[in-house]
Amino acid sequence: MVEPLDTPKPGMSPFKKGTLASIVGLATASLVLVQVPAEESGRTVSARIAPDGVATITHVAGPQYLRVYLDLVGKATACDGLTGAGIAPGKSFTETQCAIMLESRLADTAQHVMDCTPGLALTIPNRDNVRGAAVSLAYNVGWLTYCRSTMRRQINAGHIAASCTSLTWFNKAGGRVVAGLVNRRSREKALCLKDAAA
């Protein structure tokens, strides 16, 4: 559950530039801050978004991967599916470091998703759930893969229901279909379709 700490004053830009909330809006930020940890590591978190848009993420329950491990395809991974620079075998992180890295990676991913998908602009109504599904997908498969995807093209063309179906195509790891990814994509599709009916 995500709770805003305060209500922004009317007429003022409520969020600090570069925060997840400033990039995708409060509703989508609230959604992905709790959804991505659940999808990536199976854990439950609570998140609070301050009036300036900065999120505070707190571990509630479930596994927390503070020590780097090798994922299904042998890639060094930590926290909530974090890979890349600074994530190496033998390394460990604190809960606070994982929370900061999660918000930072989500904001970076979301910025790329928004840049390559004008069909998700904050000015377009009924896009919070599609935006959340797109950011969740991009966080998992990489923003570059997302920006080259059929899903992105379909969103930009206004074909929301079709875009929700096309995200299910990302169900493989190491060249084989993985049940966990099939299930995740099914949940993301259901989320995405909430906006298709609007």
DSSP symbols for 96-119 = HHHHHHHHHHHHHHHHHHHHH-GG
pTM greater than the 0.95 cutoff = no
77 within 8 A of 68, measured Cβ to Cβ: yes
Q: So what's the pLDDT on residue 107?
A: 97
Distance between CA atoms of 33 and 12, rounded to whole angstroms? 24
Q: So what's the pLDDT on residue 198?
A: 66
Q: So what's the pLDDT on residue 114?
A: 98
Q: So what's the pLDDT on residue 14?
A: 80
Q: So what's the pLDDT on residue 191?
A: 96
Please give the single-letter amino acid code of residue 116.
Answer: C
Burial class of residue 173 in the structure, from the number of CB atoms within 10 Å of its CB (0-12 exposed, 13-18 middle, 19+ buried): middle
Give, in order, the Cα–Cα distances in Å from 77 to each of 39, 141, 180: 14, 13, 17
Could you list the pLDDT tens digit for every one of the 198 residues in the chain?
554 444 444 444 589 999 999 999 999 999 999 999 999 999 999 999 999 999 999 999 998 899 999 999 999 999 999 999 999 999 999 999 999 999 999 999 999 999 999 999 999 999 999 999 999 999 999 999 999 999 999 999 999 999 999 999 999 999 999 999 999 999 999 999 998 876
Distance between CA atoms of 188 and 198, rounded to whole angstroms? 17
Distance between CA atoms of 158 and 57, rounded to whole angstroms? 33
Quickly list H helices, the chain.
Answer: 20-41, 95-116, 128-141, 143-147, 150-156, 160-166, 179-196
Return phi, psi of residue 30, to 5°: -60, -40
Return phi, psi of residue 174, to 5°: 65, 25
In the chain, the domains with their CATH numbers are 2-196 (1.10.530.40)
76 within 8 A of 65, measured Cβ to Cβ: no
20 within 8 A of 33, measured Cβ to Cβ: yes
